[in-house]
A and B are shown apart, each in its own frame.
Chain A
């Protein structure tokens, strides 16, 4: 569905994308993770035809972004809503701009209102919505026309629990229906819940790509024992369960709590991106 090959994009002396390549299949959710300034947003802007790459190329379903302009669902990183316009009016505008009309538009609005739980505030102006409600409204304007490619740039940044869950549910549903999804985030556990494949971006290029298991396998987790006298032992290990058994067999002090943390995506993020950041 989405194929990006060797994209390069410079803003003055800053090389935002440096031979960035990514492939996303229909029905696949790809989580783009990386530190701020890694190039995630620039990639989203190129795919949505807001910015042209200096070199390299992108195809969406075999076509360049210019040929499918407006048919990709884009939810940008920053809230971009009209303060004095209601949620319903936003949906009508973006639905119409996507080509929906008449009953199809009404049905699309009804569907997305239910899916993203917008019903309680649909007639309120964007200016008076909470941050989470604004996030959901923004996502709804990107999803209303059921695009086959979704670009969601940190859609849950600063969002409350309800917003996050609603967003994840809809993304899973749309991917289940066959949409390709590019989901940039700093909240790595979300990618686990979405069963997303992960692309780690650093300095404008994808430096690791794979499933959660493929990328996390071999990373250290932690075992922590806290004793009654409030002393603690923390062991970093690639085999937390075995390490715990070993520790328990050797310790004869009374233990108050045991904490086992398996390797997580956060560990991957740190090991690949943060620790190697320039």
Chain B
């Protein structure tokens, strides 16, 4: 190895150019190391994750009678609506997880390592992705057992829908983290923006009882597509699941690509607060 010192007794992995398989193996190893590291950080500060599971459970229970009286299929609306609404907070979790690396000045240390920005982002968001899937699964089971959500005819559609939605949210969160200048800015954009968009998408109030203009405007909200997808998945409607999934996948890819490009460049000294 050219760049090892002559007396080294340590084996340093060959550089990525040695072959496609080595490149993949090396990338998987680094992503695994980063994911483990970020899981540790997350587990040592779990309060936020716990609240995002507990709060929708309480709200589902309290709001169920209201929804059941207001609309047909009220139990489905309250369960899926709050699942979507409280998953939107993942934007804030992902954004903060990236932004805090800037506060700690650790992002440049990671950038100086062998891992490219894509690996750093994957290692960063994988644990949050798992958390989201677990959160949504818990809420789904809770919805079926306690709230009266119909048991999904095709659970695989629901798992697929949860995964797509998680991907879109985490990509949006990562992209946001690269353009805001502080945790305060991120909080304003992710919390207010996410609540507005999920409400507009029909997660809080059923679209059918919203004004006409809101029903049209709902289409610009990722929350609308997530809710449509989730409800179709619970019904076991493959076509109804795939169409909104395509929209969310596109949003996720655009946001994710933007985040990777920005993170490759770093924040730079001129942009630090």
Q: Which A residues touch B106, using CB under 8 A?
A: 80-82
In-complex Cβ contact of B109 among A11, A74, A100 (8 A): A74
Interface residues of A in 58-83 (CB under 8 A from B): 60-61, 67-72, 74, 76, 78-83
Q: Kindly state whether residue B69 has any CB partner on chain A within 8 Å.
A: no
Q: Which A residues touch B9, using CB under 8 A?
A: 107
Interface residues on A, range: 35 or more
Q: Kindly state whether residue A108 has any CB partner on chain B within 8 Å.
A: yes
Q: Kindly state whether residue A101 has any CB partner on chain B within 8 Å.
A: yes
Pick out which of these stretches binds chain A: B40-48, B88-96, B149-157: B40-48
Q: Kindly state whether residue B30 has any CB partner on chain A within 8 Å.
A: yes
Pick out which of these stretches binds chain A: B10-18, B128-136, B244-252: B10-18
B6 smallest CB distance to A (angstroms): 5
Q: Which B residues touch A82, using CB under 8 A?
A: 37, 41, 104, 106
Q: Count of chain B residues with Cβ under 8 Å from any Cβ of A?
A: 39
Residue pair B12, A145 in contact (C-beta under 8 Å): yes
A99-B13, A148-B3 in contact; A177/B108 too (CB < 8 A)? no
Pick out which of these stretches binds chain A: B54-62, B71-79, B111-119, B197-205: B111-119
Residue pair B104, A71 in contact (C-beta under 8 Å): no
Residue pair B6, A93 in contact (C-beta under 8 Å): no
Residue pair B37, A76 in contact (C-beta under 8 Å): no
B5 smallest CB distance to A (angstroms): 5
SS class, residues of chain B in contact with chain A: loop
Interface residues of A in 86-122 (CB under 8 A from B): 89, 92-94, 96-101, 104, 107-108
Q: How many cross-chain pairs have Cβ atoms below 8 Å apart between A and B?
A: 122
Most B C-beta atoms less than 10 A away, residue of A67, A83, A100, A107? A83
> How distant is the Cα of A147 from the Cα of B2 in the complex, in angstroms?
10
Residue pair B108, A98 in contact (C-beta under 8 Å): no
In-complex Cβ contact of B3 among A78, A141, A147 (8 A): A147
Residue pair B30, A97 in contact (C-beta under 8 Å): yes
Q: Which B residues touch A68, using CB under 8 A?
A: 3, 15
Residue pair B114, A84 in contact (C-beta under 8 Å): no
Q: Mark A28-66, 1 if CB is under 8 A from B, else 0.
A: 000000000000000001001111000000001100000
> How distant is the Cα of A45 from the Cα of B109 in the complex, in angstroms?
11
Q: Mark B1-39, 1 if CB is under 8 A from A, else 0.
A: 011111111111111000000000010011001100100
Residue pair B104, A93 in contact (C-beta under 8 Å): no
Residue pair A76, B108 in contact (C-beta under 8 Å): yes
A214 smallest CB distance to B (angstroms): 27
Residue pair A146, B269 in contact (C-beta under 8 Å): no
Q: Which A residues touch B45, using CB under 8 A?
A: 84
Q: Which A residues touch B270, using CB under 8 A?
A: 11-12
A70-B114, A177-B5 in contact; A50/B10 too (CB < 8 A)? no
SS class, residues of chain A in contact with chain B: loop
Residue pair B108, A50 in contact (C-beta under 8 Å): yes
Q: Kindly state whether residue A174 has any CB partner on chain B within 8 Å.
A: yes
Residue pair B10, A71 in contact (C-beta under 8 Å): no
Residue pair A99, B104 in contact (C-beta under 8 Å): no
> How distant is the Cα of A100 from the Cα of B34 in the complex, in angstroms?
14
Q: Which A residues touch B26, using CB under 8 A?
A: 99
In-complex Cβ contact of A78 among B105, B110, B111 (8 A): B105
Residue pair B6, A178 in contact (C-beta under 8 Å): yes
Interface residues of A in 115-144 (CB under 8 A from B): 141
> How distant is the Cα of A141 from the Cα of B11 in the complex, in angstroms?
16
Residue pair B29, A71 in contact (C-beta under 8 Å): no
In-complex Cβ contact of A178 among B5, B10, B109 (8 A): B5
A148-B3, A148-B4 in contact; A104/B11 too (CB < 8 A)? yes
Q: Kindly state whether residue B266 has any CB partner on chain A within 8 Å.
A: yes
A87 smallest CB distance to B (angstroms): 13
A129 smallest CB distance to B (angstroms): 14
Residue pair B115, A97 in contact (C-beta under 8 Å): yes
Residue pair B37, A101 in contact (C-beta under 8 Å): no
Residue on A nearest B14 in the bound complex, by CB: A99
Q: Which residues of A contact B (CB under 8 A)?
A: 11-12, 45, 48-51, 60-61, 67-72, 74, 76, 78-85, 89, 92-94, 96-101, 104, 107-108, 141, 145-149, 174, 177-179
Other contacts beyond A96-B30, A148-B3: 11, CB < 8 A: A60-B3, A69-B113, A70-B115, A71-B12, A80-B104, A85-B37, A93-B33, A98-B12, A99-B12, A99-B14, A147-B3
10 inter-chain pairs at a CB distance below 8 angstroms, sorted by A residue, are A69-B112, A84-B45, A94-B109, A97-B114, A99-B13, A101-B13, A147-B4, A148-B4, A148-B5, A177-B6
